[in-house]
Amino acid sequence: MTYAIQDLVIRNVTPFDNAEITNLVAEAMWDGPVARWLHPDDVVRLRDTPRYFEIFVEYAVQCGEVYATADAETGRLTGVGLWFPLTSPIPAPADYEGRLKEVAGEAYDRACQLDAAIEAHHPMEPHHYLAFLAVHPADQGHGVGSALLDRHHARLDAAGLPAYLEANHPRNRDLYQRHGYQVRSVIELPDGPTLWTMWRPPMG
């Protein structure tokens, strides 16, 4: 299979594009450690995870920078990277608390704990924040995630800007380490998974 990197920054795209990106993120993440902690019940998690990610996809399309890769033959989305350029303040998502309450259901308190932990560790220095990197399960392990990282890192390096993210699994932490990130702090979610906050200074 071949992969084509579309290096455009998507902004003001149609609702269809948002839905496609949301579905991809949800399919990649729905069974991950944080999603399992938020919604231990498989049925509830499968139902509610896309609506949770929809908030952040909409936010990234509006205020961030979204990179996507597509299958060269079919055009099907294979991977996305959702970045936020935190070099100047950006507004919070519209009615975030209300929407979170609506989509998180019983997981609302844990979703707030997650947000608070992430917020408490977030660096103040200007940087680009990688909120989500997601590759469709059928396409994982073929270099799509690395290509998405390389694409944005090249821009950051040219601009002399650092990057920041939270890794949710040792395997992801190792991937990011290979791309120049260093562990900055560790978040232990209550009765939940470990997150590693990671910082990448500009290179080159």
Ligand X SMILES: CC(C)(COP(=O)(O)OP(=O)(O)OC[C@H]1O[C@@H](n2cnc3c(N)ncnc32)[C@H](O)[C@@H]1OP(=O)(O)O)[C@@H](O)C(=O)NCCC(=O)NCCS
71-to-24, 38, 90, 144 alpha-carbon distances in Å? 13, 31, 32, 10
Task: Work out which of 171, 190, 191, 204 binds ligand X, going by CB under 6 A.
Answer: 171
Options 55-63, 93-101, 141-149, 179-187: segment touching ligand X (CB under 6 A): 141-149
Least distance between ligand X and beta carbon 11 (Å): 22
* Residue 2 binds ligand X, judged by CB under 6 A: no
Least distance between ligand X and beta carbon 53 (Å): 11
Options 98-106, 107-115, 116-124, 135-143: segment touching ligand X (CB under 6 A): 135-143
Q: Which is nearer to ligand X, 133 or 189 (CB)?
A: 133
The secondary structure of the chain as a DSSP string is --EEEE-PPP-S--HHHHHHHHHHHHHHHTTSHHHHHH--SHHHHHHHHHHHHHHHHHHHHHHSEEEEEEETTT--EEEEEEEEEETS--PPPTTHHHHHHHHHGGGHHHHHHHHHHHHHH---SSEEEEEEEEE-GGGTTSSHHHHHHHHHHHHHHHHT--EEEEE-SHHHHHHHHHTT-EEEEEEE-TTS-EEEEEEE----
Q: Which is nearer to ligand X, 110 or 173 (CB)?
A: 173
Task: Work out which of 146, 151, 179, 193 binds ligand X, going by CB under 6 A.
Answer: 146
Task: Give the x-and-dash track for 95-134 against ligand X (CB under 6 A).
Answer: --------------------------------------xx
**Of 20-49, which residues contact ligand X (CB under 6 A)?**
28-29, 32
Binding-site ranges for ligand X (CB under 6 A): 28-29, 32, 133-135, 140-146, 167-169, 171-172, 174-175
